[in-house]
Amino acid sequence: MIMASGTTDLYERLRGPKRLSMSPGGHAWPFLPPAGGWATQRTRLRRFWLTSARTLSAAPPGNSPADERGLRDTYPTGVELTGSNTEFAVPPDPNGSLTWTSAPFHGEFTILGSEQLRFYAACQNPDTDFEFVLQDVYPNGDVRFLQRGILRASLRSIARSRSAPDHLVHAYRRAAYLIPGRIYESRLSLPPLGAVLRRGQRLQLALLAPSPIAQPSWGLVPVDVPGQNTVHASARYPCAIIVPMMADARAKRAPPPCGSMPLQPCRKPAHHR
């Protein structure tokens, strides 16, 4: 588990009498991959490249002036609440968020496992928070929440001894603050996800700021210094998300109506509200 891994690290470092109690809660359980990882013989890894045109592309980005400028968002104005359909109905401020969207799928796209993200960003401040959210966009524009992960820029170091090929774990040992304006590479794994996107649906990746309002599965204390963050997605800075998929899996039912799935809130397009 993301939270439990930090908890057990702290527990190991404590001295004297101690006792640790943990219990599952919400859709944050479990975060650790099963023995042997999530990958099966039927799993295929699909790579989507993030582009300056805000698409998730099957082809890596080329060199263009737009690629070199990067994409900016104003932290921490772009937040999203996932506690209910009512909360999720309020979209994040576009000035503080970025989205990348795939082309419509021609058939079913079944996700199973932990997605890995590599991105390059420069920050105006020595520290910031990145919240990445996976979403399912229906043909009519409905947006369904799938999964999310958060990374504090100063805690981006990977614990290689505890990571697996299909799941990255951060060390959380020592903060490495940023030099404002310098471009840094960061990597993270999202918690495991099982979802089926049908024909005509699109996969969307959103970059937001975490909300200090408590949610069903987490309560966060975000970095409270506002500033601009710039994501660089180009041939020089190849940002990508790797999605584990099962190519031969088929759903036996129709897509769930918007807002009918537990812990996966959904919102209508703005013109439908």
Q: What is the pLDDT, as a whole number, of residue 23?
A: 44
Report whether CATH 2.40.50.140 matches the domain 43-248+264-272.
Answer: no
**Cis bond before residue 244 (omega within 30° of 0):** no
Cα-based distances in Å from 100 to 23, 49, 74, 108: 35, 9, 17, 20
Domain limits of the chain? 43-248+264-272
Q: Tell me the pLDDT of the chain (273 aa) as tens digits.
A: 334 455 556 666 777 776 655 443 444 444 555 555 555 667 899 999 999 999 999 999 877 766 778 999 999 999 999 999 999 999 999 999 999 999 999 999 999 889 999 999 999 999 999 999 999 999 999 999 999 999 999 999 999 998 988 889 999 989 999 999 999 999 999 998 989 999 999 999 999 999 999 877 778 899 999 999 999 999 999 999 999 998 778 888 888 899 999 889 999 987 555
pTM of the model: 0.86
Q: What is the pLDDT, as a whole number, of residue 26?
A: 43
Q: What is the pLDDT, as a whole number, of residue 77?
A: 94
Spatial distance between the Cα atoms of 127 and 223, rounded to a whole number of angstroms: 7
